[in-house]
Structure 1
Amino acid sequence: MKNSPEWAVASLAVTIFILLPVVAGLTLNRFGWESGSTDGWLGFWGGYTGGAVSIMFSLINTKYQLERANLSEQKQKMLEFLPYFNITPPILDSKKSSFSEAKTVAVWTMSVQFETLSNTSIHVTNMDVFLSTKKLPVLMKFPQGDCAPGSKRLELKQEFPKKMEFDDITKNYQIEIECQTIFGTHVLFTYGYDHNGVTFYAKNKHWIQYAGEDSQQAHTRLKLYPVPDDKMLLL
C-alpha cells in the first residue's frame, strides 16, 4: 500500500501543502517584506485550507465516479459474453454401444449450441459436460476444452465394469455444462427430465441465474457443483 503510486502522490501533495506557506513566509522575511498581520494570516490559512480540502474531495469524488463507471462497463462486458445454451437430449447410439456380462460400453450422441449477446466468435474455455440419469446419479464427466459459439455434435463414451440395464442409462437424463468466459466468469447450465435448461454464473460465492425458467429442481442440482472463485479477467 505505502509503495503504491496513489500513496506517493498523496505524500507529495501533503508535503507541498505544508511547505508552500512555509517557503512563502521565509521568502517574505528574507527580503524584509511585511509578513502581514495575525488576522491576515488566519484569513490566508482559512482560505488555503478550505481550498485544499475542496480540491481533495473533488479528486476523491472524481476517482470514485471513474471507478464506478469502469466497474459498470466491466459488468456490461461480462454479461454480453455469457453463453446462452440450447441442447438436444442425449441418445444412446446402439451401433457403437455394447452390453456384455463383463462390461458395458455406452456411447451417447447429443448436440450443444450456444450464443452470446455480443454476437462474436469468442470461445468459452474449460467446457465440461456432465451426464447422469435418475438410476445412475454418479456424474460422468466429458471434457470438451475450448468451444466456439454455434452448434457442436458431441459423442460421449463411458465404460462400466459390469453389465448395465438398458433403462438405467437411457432414461431420465440429467445434463450439466460447466465452462468459463474470456473474463474468467464461471458458468453452469443444467437440464434434466424434471426441469428445462437453466443457466447460472458465479458471483460472490453464489450461483446467479441469468437464463431459463427458475425451478426448485435446477437449484437442487446446483448443490452438486461448488461455486468457484469468481475472479474476473479483463481484456
Structure 2
Amino acid sequence: MHDPAANAESLYHLSDAELARRLQTGCERSFAEIDRRFRPRLLYALTRRLPRREDAEDVVQQTMLRVFQKIRLFDTNQRLSPWVFTIAMRLSIEHGRRKQLPILAETAAPLEIADASLSPEYVAVHNEERDHLWKLADRVLKPDQWTALWLHYGEELSITEVARTLSKTKSAISVQLFRARKALLPHLQNNKCQEPSQEKVLDTISQEPALVEVNT
C-alpha cells in the first residue's frame, strides 16, 4: 500500500544532490524538500542584506522559483547550496537596484534552522548555541563581511564557492574573512559564557584558513 509518510521520511534523508537529481526528472516532492531545507537559511542570510523582511521574503520566493525553473541546468556532481545561494545573492542585488534599496547593517532574525538534515532536537540546541555568535556578528561586522563569514562558516562554502556566489575574487573574500575574524576575536575571547559551538568557531577562525587557501 502507498504510504505518503514513508515517502516523506525517505526524502528527508536524501542528500541535496539526490533531491536535485530527482527534481530534474520531474519529482516535485523533491522540490518541496529542497524548499524546506533552503527557505529559512536564505531568509536568514537575506534579512541581513536587505532593509526590510518583506524584501527578503520576496527575494527568497524568487530564488526558489528560479531554482525550480532552472534545476535542469544544475550540475548534480556539484554541491547544491552554492548554486542556490548564488541565485539568491544575484537576485538580492537586482531587487535592491530595482527598488533602490540600500544594503543595511541591521540585526537579522535568529537562525531558524542549522541543518535541515539533522534531527529537530539537535537543531534546536545547536541554533540556540549559535544564535549569540551570529547576533554578535550582526553588531560588529559590516554587511559584506557578515555575508562572507556566514557563507563560509554558517553554510560551509569553500572560499572558492563564496567568491563565485558573491562574484568576487578569492583574494577579496579572504580579506573580508580576515577582517571579520579580526573584528570578532576580541569579543569571543572576552565572552565568559562561551558555548561549546562558539569555542569551536573561535578555534576555527583563529587558524585563518582563508589566507592559506588563497596561497595554494
TM-score by length of 1: 0.21
* Greater relative CO (CA pairs within 8 A, separation 6+): 2
Give the helix-richer structure, 1 or 2. Answer: 2
